[in-house]
Structure 1
Amino acid sequence: MFDVASSEVILLGVVALLVIPPKDLPKAMRVAGHWIGKVRGVANQFRSGFDTMLRESELQEMEKKWAAENDRIMREHPSEPVQMLPMAGPPAEAHAAEDAGDAPAVLVEQPMVAAPERSADAVAVDQPKPTAGTLL
């Protein structure tokens, strides 16, 4: 954006040495550094705001493309039934029971049960107690 070459910085330094007395030079450099920091902060804020707006506009454009593609696909395939994939067959034990002429095995899914919560007292009980020869 604002390009400052090293030769321009050196020229500014020489002019500052000629115009500003040596005892006021450190204060002038601090003030210049302060203002340069503020300018950089504003430039970074502007750049990040611009990048955010650009990203949002790209997302909106992509959403429009996806919606148009979805509409096109839905027009081409209006009411096709959803085909389900076949489930995996029963385990080998069920096949062996069917081959033997017995009734096929029925698989029952067991519900998952959460482990009971343990209190701090229970945790302390589970830990081994120190003996006389161990260090804590």
Structure 2
Amino acid sequence: MFDIGFTELLLVGLVALLVLGPERLPGAVRTASRWIGRLKRSFSTFKAEVEREIGADEIRRQLHSEQILELEREMKAMKRGILAPMPTSDTGNSAEATPPAAETTSQDKTAQP
């Protein structure tokens, strides 16, 4: 991560031994390792949360793109006459959106000249 070699670690350890002394050095190492562990965990949690959000945004974008592609396919099919136009009624009932077909009875056929 920081590209610290063995000689740099040895130098830091010797300076810490001289500054803190042999009595306080083990406690300082434990405290430092706890803080480093907490930082690593918090960074990994943050990273996982960001990746999850990015993944969720990517899924939303993909779904939106698929919906747009499906609408484009329907429009092309309508232009070619393959698909009938969808009703634009807010009620959602297709029977109300289309007018009823005219029925022809036997009386209508005889009454016409």
TM-score by length of 1: 0.52
Q: Deviations over 1:13-47 (max 9, x none)?
A: 22211111102111111111111111111111111
Counterpart CA distance in 2 for 1:58 and 1:8 is 43
The Cα shift of 1:10 comes to 3.1
TM-score (norm 2): 0.62
Q: 1:1-136 maps to which residues of 2 (within 5 A)?
A: 3-6=2-5, 7-78=7-78, 80=83
How far does the alpha carbon of each residue in 1:47-89 deviate from its partner, in whole angstroms, 9 at most, with x for none? Answer: 11111111111111111210110010111113538xxxxxxxx
User: Which secondary structure state, in structure 2, belongs to the residue aligned with residue 5 of structure 1?
Assistant: coil
What displacement does 1:3 show?
Answer: 2.3
Identity of aligned residues (%): 24
Give RMSD over aligned pairs. 1.9
Cα distance between partner residues in 1 of 2:30 and 2:74: 65
> Following the alignment from structure 1 to structure 2, what is the Cα–Cα distance between the partners of residues 36 and 4?
16
8 Å CA contact retained: 2:74, 2:83: no
Partner AA of 1:52 in structure 2: R
Report the secondary structure of 2:22's partner residue: coil
Deviation at 1:5, TM superposition (A): 1.6
**Cα deviation 1:80-135 (Å, max 9, x = unaligned):** 38xxxxxxxxxxxxxxxxxxxxxxxxxxxxxxxxxxxxxxxxxxxxxxxxxxxxxx
1:12: how far off?
Answer: 2.2
Would the aligned equivalents of 2:77 and 2:83 in 1 still touch at CA under 8 Å?
yes
**Unpaired runs of at least 5, structure 2:** 85-113
Q: Distance in 1 between matches of 2:47 and 2:8?
A: 25
- List gaps (5 residues or longer) in structure 1: 82-136
Q: Distance in 2 between matches of 1:19 and 1:70?
A: 70
Give the number of the structure whose residues are more often helix, by fraction.
Answer: 2
